[in-house]
Amino acid sequence: MTAVSADVELAGASATVPRAAAHISTLTRRGGGYWMLMHPLGDPDDLDALYRVVFGGPEQATLPRDAPVTPAEVARALVAVHGAETELGRLHWGTRFSDATRQVTDYRHGRILVAGDAAHIHLPVGGQGLNLGVQDAMNLGWKLAAQVRGDAPSDLLDGYHAERHPVAARVLALTRAQSVLMSPPPGADDVRALRDIIVDLARLPDANRYLAGMMSGLDLRYDLDDPDPLVGARMVDLSLQTASGPTTVAALLRSGRGLLLELGSPPMRPGDVRIHPRVDHVIAGVIDSPVGNALGAAPGVDRVLVRPDGYVCWAGAGPAASPESALHRWFGASVPVSASAAAR
Ligand SMILES: Cc1cc2nc3c(=O)[nH]c(=O)nc-3n(C[C@H](O)[C@H](O)[C@H](O)COP(=O)(O)OP(=O)(O)OC[C@H]3O[C@@H](n4cnc5c(N)ncnc54)[C@H](O)[C@@H]3O)c2cc1C
* Residue 128 near residue 217, CB atoms below 8 Å: yes
Cβ atoms within 10 Å of 108's Cβ, excluding its own: 16
Cα–Cα distance, 143 to 331 (Å, whole number): 9
133 in contact with ligand 1, CB cutoff 6 A: yes
Distance separating the N- and C-terminal Cα atoms of the chain: 55
- Cα(157) to centroid(ligand 1), Å: 24
Q: Which residues have CB under 8 Å from 304's CB, separation 6+?
A: 230, 235, 260, 261, 263, 295, 297, 312, 314, 315, 316
Residue 218 pairs in a beta bridge with none
Establish whether residue 5 lines the binding site of ligand 1, counting it when its CB lies within 6 angstroms of any ligand atom: yes
The strand pair at 279-288 and 258-262 is best described as parallel
From residue 264, how far is each of 147, 284, 304, 342 by CA, in Å? 33, 8, 11, 22
CB distance 97 to ligand 1 below 6 Å? yes
The 10s digit of each residue's pLDDT in 130-145 is: 999 999 999 999 999 9
- CB 79, CB 12: distance < 8 Å: no
| Contact between residue 38 and residue 128 where contact means Cβ atoms under 8 Å apart | no
> Domain residues of the chain, as ranges?
2-98, 102-216, 239-343
For ligand 1, mutation pick of 1, 102, 117, 132 (most atoms within 8 Å of CB): 117
DSSP code string of 304-323: EEE-TTSBEEEEEESTT---
> What's the confidence (pLDDT) of residue 297?
63
Could you tell me the CATH superfamily of domain 102-216? FAD/NAD(P)-binding domain (3.50.50.60)
CA angle 68, 74, 78 (to 5 degrees): 165
How far is the C-alpha of 76 from the C-alpha of 10, rounded, in Å? 13
Q: Tell me the whole-structure pTM to 2 decimals.
A: 0.88
- Assign 87 to helix, strand or coil: strand
Helix 159-182, helix 189-202: angle, nearest 10? 110
Q: Residue 91's Cα: distance from chain center in Å?
A: 31
The count of other CB atoms within 10 Å of the CB of residue 279 is 24
pLDDT tens track, the chain, 344 positions: 899 999 999 999 999 999 888 888 899 999 999 999 999 998 767 767 899 999 999 999 999 989 999 999 999 999 999 999 999 999 999 999 999 999 999 999 999 999 999 999 999 988 899 999 999 999 999 999 999 999 899 899 999 999 999 999 999 999 999 999 988 888 899 999 999 999 999 999 999 999 999 999 989 999 999 988 899 999 999 989 888 899 999 999 999 999 999 886 666 666 666 677 889 999 888 887 766 555 666 667 888 999 999 999 999 888 788 888 999 999 987 655 544 444 34
Which numeric CATH code is attached to 2-98? Answer: 3.30.70.2450
Q: Give the closest residue (by CA) to ligand 1 atom 4.
A: 124
What is the rounded distance in angstroms from the CA atom of residue 296 to the CA atom of residue 231?
11
The overall average pLDDT reported for the chain is 89
Residue whose Cα lies nearest atom 17 of ligand 1: it is: 130
Is ligand 1 within 6 A of the CB of residue 288? no
CATH architecture of 239-343: 3-Layer(aba) Sandwich (3.40)
Cβ–Cβ under 8 Å, residues 161 and 106:
yes
